[in-house]
Amino acid sequence: MDKLDLHFHSNYSDGKLPVSEIAAIIKSEKLKFCALVDHDSVAGVRELETCLNGSGTKVITGVELTARYNENEIHILAYDFNIDVAAEILKERKELVGLQKIEEMKKAIQLFRGEGFEITDGLVPSEKQPVGLTVALDVCASRFNQDLFTKRHAKLIIPEEVYYEYQAPGKSCAVERSDITAEWLVKKFKRVARDLIIAHPFVSVSVVTKPLNEKDISNLVRIGLTGVEVYHNETSDEQISLVKRIVRERGLHYTGGSDSHGKKGDTPIGQYGSNRTIPDFYLSNYNSNIELN
């Protein structure tokens, strides 16, 4: 069986390892197919291609895209595209999200101050984290605010609890999260990428999001996604069986990967669980020639 991994990350996004070290692992494991899918970045793809040139491993261009789907956040895996064109789309995305974050920050600060909390003057959005988290961290760092939490909730509050108590939909400080919609990304990448895959559909991408369900998968396929990630380290065997059924019934493409970030305890590259190698995949231009069963 050929070894493969179509979902891992480098230090160009939130991974720990540089591309050169990842390439060494891939050579050692003798992967036939691989795809570096850094979050909203294709900066490391060409470097991986260079590192693996002549190794016998096929590098499929990839990226993991962050998108807003209704009130939820989802991740979409784009594969097999022109890197330069994809980079231009991601640059446009970054600029749009940056402008959205400025407005989201203004609204969030106004609402929290209206609730009686102190917010640091000059607080600005961070490129690498959601506005809600930036605000929640700032709120929790204040002794005045923690005294207020104690009076209201009879305990000190951590950022995650700030979300559930104040920032979740319907709460007093709720603000729509900045991000590009799934529809926007599909429209942009449909002309560029051969495949757009729903990443780990039954795995929440953060504590403030919900896993998808079968109806969500159907809706995302309807707007233009071509498949689903079947094999993932946090997807149970029962869920894998469900996704396999959906793939068969709808004739979708499918992938799998370790989702390795190169950190201690991560699933090793080339696996999707303890000692379980990714058995197969199917994309428009590439497949492992093994029928999904």
The full set of domain ranges for the chain reads 3-81+193-277, 94-167
Asked if 254 and 282 touch (Cβ cutoff 8 Å), the reply is yes
End-to-end, the C-alpha distance of the chain in Å comes to: 15
Per-residue pLDDT for the chain (293 aa), expressed as one digit of tens each?
689 999 999 999 999 999 999 999 999 999 999 999 999 999 999 999 999 999 999 999 999 999 999 888 999 999 999 999 999 999 999 999 999 999 999 999 999 999 999 999 999 999 888 999 999 999 999 999 999 999 999 999 999 999 999 999 899 999 999 999 999 999 999 999 999 999 999 998 877 778 999 999 999 999 999 999 999 999 999 999 999 999 999 999 999 999 999 999 999 999 998 889 999 999 999 988 654 54
Strand pairing class (58-59; 62-69) = unpaired
For residue 49, the one-letter residue type is E
What is the value of pTM for the model shown? 0.92
- The class that CATH gives domain 3-81+193-277 is alpha beta
What local confidence, expressed as pLDDT, does residue 275 receive? 83
Under DSSP, is residue 64 helix (H, G, I), strand (E, B) or coil?
strand
Nearest to 61 by CA among 230, 286, 253: 286
The Cα angle at residue 209 between residues 129 and 147, in degrees rounded to 5? 65
What local confidence, expressed as pLDDT, does residue 289 receive? 66
Strand-pair partners of 198? 76, 228
Two tokens, residue 117: 């909390």
Contacts of 9 (CB under 8 A, 6+ apart): 15, 36, 37, 38, 39, 64, 259, 260, 261, 262
What local confidence, expressed as pLDDT, does residue 290 receive? 54
Asked if 18 and 10 touch (Cβ cutoff 8 Å), the reply is yes
